[in-house]
Amino acid sequence: MTFRRKQSQKQRRLRTYRRYTTAVGFELAVLAVLLLMSYLIWNAICGSSWRTCLGDASQVPKFFFYSFIRPLTFTPFFYLATISTHTFGLLLGSLLASLGAALSTAVLFYPARYVGERLVGPWVNRNLPETYHRMAGNELGVTILGRLVPFVPFDLVSAVLGVLDFDFRKVLLGSFIGTLPLCFSAYAFGHLQTTVDSPLLLFIGSALFLLACLLAASFVWSFFFGYSVWARVQNFCREAVYELHVNNRIDRSYQYDGSRPIVVLLYGFFSSRRALILMEKRLSAKGHQVMTFNLGGMLGILFTRGIVDTADFLANKIKRQIERYDFPEVQYIGYSKGGLVAAHYLFHMHGFEKRCKKLITLGTPFSGAYQTYLALVTPLAFFWRDVWQMRPGSVFLEEIADVSVPKDMKIHCLFSEKDRFSRGRNGIFRPRAGSKRVTAKAMHQCDHFAFLTDSKVFEYVHNALLEDNKLNLTNQTEATQTGVKDTQPMEVSMLNSVDRRK
């Protein structure tokens, strides 16, 4: 009985309801705790009136201390700018507030840069290289724009700039320039609040007043310059989406040979087909027939689709291709989440009966990935079912291992201790029966993103595909003569050596 048949419609609806209520409850609890913490801290500092936070104009060191702790208290920059301009006056208060805001950027910028270099940077280089180059060429302008765009919190922009590895000197200058208009607005707002002493009311009022000022500034900008800041942001987003679409196109002119096996490549979470370029070309150069699919998800490109739904999609695709070409054998290579899709299709939808005898997984989190909890505490949990399926201890992961591997099938699991998503032996498939047909291969020189580019990984995958297989490699010479080389130095340069420090 398949995984879908084990669950009735009522049970699936109940699980969905519990998943959403858990996400909503947890997010509301986190938000309430953060707001309460922010209110208690500033109430303890300012007392009953926000006008007494600094006392007199001689408290400049105290103000800079408040500026550094502000990002840690989840407080809008506008709140402290109002206090500064009220205490020090319009000119000096605005300069001190902008300088304090620029310096406080480091509180989130450097931790975000550390995370970005290891997690986000490799993804950006593989999926949006051109968009990143355009941003890196105008770091100062992007920073100023980020400080002026409505609805975007100051500290969130600081974290994003750190993740993108911007030059910190340009971030400092851009933050100083971009926050000066907000300080002038804070001065005007402070004078309007002559009868309000409560820090809480100032906190709420400053947020609403800031929003009104930013919308008014956007309207004035569009009136004089013919375009709005919001339009610039929209155009930038459209260009990024266009790049994703272009990089995800499938070459439908390729003619497959039905007398030879086919290798199906499946990419990982929040990636696109571009991540498979190097592996696909290397395998083709060795004479393998390679097939990839657009697995859908966010924007129709980034793979955030549920694993069970994707396995259904894969089953239909494989069925049509076998009917069309009559391949003698279908071999699967699943990277990260793609390995879970392949495993579910093969063992819970009887995909192994459709001429499949080999599965190779690269960094697949068979024991779950703890990073999924980062998505579960955000609204993304409402839309991305796969983050629930890939969390450690989920019912889905228990079900996917409760199988027996057929005697004529082989599974190769490549894992690494440097893999931050499926560290070490968490990347090994452990079925209920047939574990002797699972081969675990350590690739400790790789991190999670290097499985698709490392030469040793490719050599092992190539040999594993040839194992017990009379594969005809007659087109290897032809592929090499057409310019597809095994080493692919240009592709490696494009994917791994992007100059991120301008």
Q: What is the pLDDT of residues 428-452, one digit of tens each?
A: 999 988 788 899 999 999 988 889 8
**pLDDT score at 220:** 64
How far is residue 193's CA from residue 93's CA, in Å, rounded to a whole number? 17
Query: Six-digit token pair at 330?
Result: 């279908």
How far is residue 321's CA from residue 220's CA, in Å, rounded to a whole number? 57
Residue 267 binned pLDDT confidence (cut-offs 50, 70, 90): very high
**Phi, psi of 413, rounded to the nearest 5 degrees:** -115, 115
- Of 47-51, 68-72, 367-371, which gets the smallest average pLDDT? 47-51
**Phi, psi of 442, rounded to the nearest 5 degrees:** -80, 130
- Of 107-111, 319-323, 475-479, which gets the smallest average pLDDT? 475-479
Given a cut of 50, whether residue 494 has pLDDT beyond it is no
Single out the residue of 255, 291, 333, 281 nearest to residue 479, CA to CA.
281
Note the pLDDT tens digit of each residue in 187-206. 777 666 655 555 556 556 65
**pLDDT score at 344:** 93
Contact between 343 and 313 (Cβ < 8 Å): no
Given a cut of 60, whether residue 486 has pLDDT beyond it is no
Quote the percentage of the chain above a pLDDT of 70: 70
Residue 502 binned pLDDT confidence (cut-offs 50, 70, 90): very low
Given a cut of 50, whether residue 496 has pLDDT beyond it is no
Note the pLDDT tens digit of each residue in 124-161. 766 667 776 777 677 888 888 788 765 677 888 898 88
**pLDDT score at 495:** 36
Given a cut of 90, whether residue 416 has pLDDT beyond it is yes
3-class secondary structure for 276-309? HHHHHHHHHHCCCCEEECCCCCECCCECCCCHHH
- Of 63-67, 285-289, 478-482, which gets the smallest average pLDDT? 478-482
**pLDDT score at 439:** 92
Dihedral, 118, 158, 372, 311 alpha carbons, nearest 10: -80
**pLDDT score at 493:** 33
Residue 266 binned pLDDT confidence (cut-offs 50, 70, 90): very high
Single out the residue of 66, 71, 40 nearest to residue 54, CA to CA.
66
Query: Facing residues of 333 across strands?
Result: 265, 360
Given a cut of 80, whether residue 383 has pLDDT beyond it is no
- Give the 3-state secondary structure of residue 223: helix
Residue 162: CB atoms within 10 Å: 24
Identify the residue with better confidence: 149 or 34.
34
The residues, any chain, with a CB within 8 Å of residue 277's CB and separated by 6 or more, are 491, 495
Given a cut of 60, whether residue 498 has pLDDT beyond it is no
Given a cut of 70, whether residue 72 has pLDDT beyond it is yes
Given a cut of 80, whether residue 12 has pLDDT beyond it is no
Contact between 152 and 78 (Cβ < 8 Å): no
**pLDDT score at 442:** 93
The arithmetic mean of pLDDT across residues 167-172, rounded, is: 90
How far is residue 148's CA from residue 96's CA, in Å, rounded to a whole number? 18
- DSSP state, residue 370: T
How far is residue 398's CA from residue 11's CA, in Å, rounded to a whole number? 17
**pLDDT score at 265:** 94
3-class secondary structure for 29-56? HHHHHHHHHHHHHHHHHHCCCHHHCCCC
Note the pLDDT tens digit of each residue in 304-363. 888 998 999 999 999 999 888 889 899 999 999 999 999 999 998 887 777 888 999 999
**pLDDT score at 457:** 94
Q: Which residue has the tokens 């987003």?
A: 237
How far is residue 239's CA from residue 200's CA, in Å, rounded to a whole number? 41
Query: Six-digit token pair at 102?
Result: 């620029």
The arithmetic mean of pLDDT across residues 254-280, rounded, is: 86
Residue 394 binned pLDDT confidence (cut-offs 50, 70, 90): confident
- Which domains, from first to last, does the chain contain? 21-242 (no CATH), 254-496 (3.40.50.1820)
How far is residue 202's CA from residue 190's CA, in Å, rounded to a whole number? 9
Pairing of strands 330-335, 290-292: unpaired
The arithmetic mean of pLDDT across residues 251-257, rounded, is: 69
